[in-house]
Amino acid sequence: MSSKAFRTLSNGNKIPWIGFGTADLVDTGTALYGRSADQSVSAALEAGFIYIDCAEMYGNEASVGQAIKKFLSSPGISRDSLFVTTKLDSLPSGKTVQDSIKESLRKLQVDYLDLYLIHTPVPHQGRLKEVWKQMEEVYREGLAKNIGVSNFRLKDFAEFIDSVEVVPVVNQIEFNPYLLKATEPLLALHKKYNILTMSYGGLVPLSRKTGGPLDDIIPTIRERLSKDTGKQVSDGQVLLKWLNAHDALPITTSNKKDRLVNLLETPDLPDLTAEEVEELDEAGKKIHHRNYMQHMER
């Protein structure tokens, strides 16, 4: 990837601008939740993805690890050429964050994680200060180079953010134009603490929520970009450019190699104009639609 295909986290570490997700991301019709992800992850790596996002909750860390092992065994490929993320699930009595991350590392067949996230605050309500302190410990031990959270609301941050020694570098949330209005207060908190917004479900308006006010706008922007560049621009690339305009890093997935390659070419396209971003913003705010993690509504 070129230098413009990386972002810089608040601690100065680099992160690829896009990640390949291994959950049930229904916006692309790819269901890897609880299933072997070996073949799909291998295809993504072959297409050019270097950021792989998985989770203990998905039940497929071991198969993701098989794909990672094969990739890292290729000539000239080193561990630092890959960015691997997984996420902490619940913590049964007697189990620590260190126990959990070590089990994930064993399954993924790597010595460290590039990013470790608390998957959801729900199992840890009332204990977020304690759990985050344990996250800080695995960070200091070098088991994770970066730590962050996922699916956290304003009230979840309020429970622990003022007591942290290491600020979460990211919050991974469902985010697309149909969630912009509901997410704006959270985006403001991200900006205050220099927390990167990471988006899953960013392409939902193209699949699970078609027929909405974006349907007539996205093709017009796509045609403008195609005309200006002489390239065949996709609707997915338009939404990735919208996410970029909102300083959000996308996590996406697909079983189609040509689609993966197309998405990876997005940084080479011109940015959306301020007018195009505003038009997508205003259209998105006309409806509210959330596919995942319904606790975010409460």
Residue % of the chain over a pLDDT of 70: 95
The CA-atom distances, in angstroms, between 37 and each of 96, 185, 197 are: 26, 35, 25
Question: How confident is residue 24, by pLDDT bands cut at 50, 70 and 90?
Answer: low
DSSP class of residue 111?
Answer: S
> Across all residues in the chain, what is the average pLDDT?
94
Q: What is the pLDDT of residue 207?
A: 87
pTM of the model: 0.94
To which residue do tokens 């009595």 refer?
93
Three-state SS annotation for 166-223 = CCCCEEEEECCHHHHHHHHHHHHHHHHHCCEEEEECCCHHHCCCCCCCCCCCHHHHHH
Question: How confident is residue 121, by pLDDT bands cut at 50, 70 and 90?
Answer: very high
| pLDDT one-digit tens code per residue, 226-282 | 999 999 999 999 999 999 999 999 999 998 999 999 999 999 999 999 999 999 999
Catalytic site positions: 58, 119
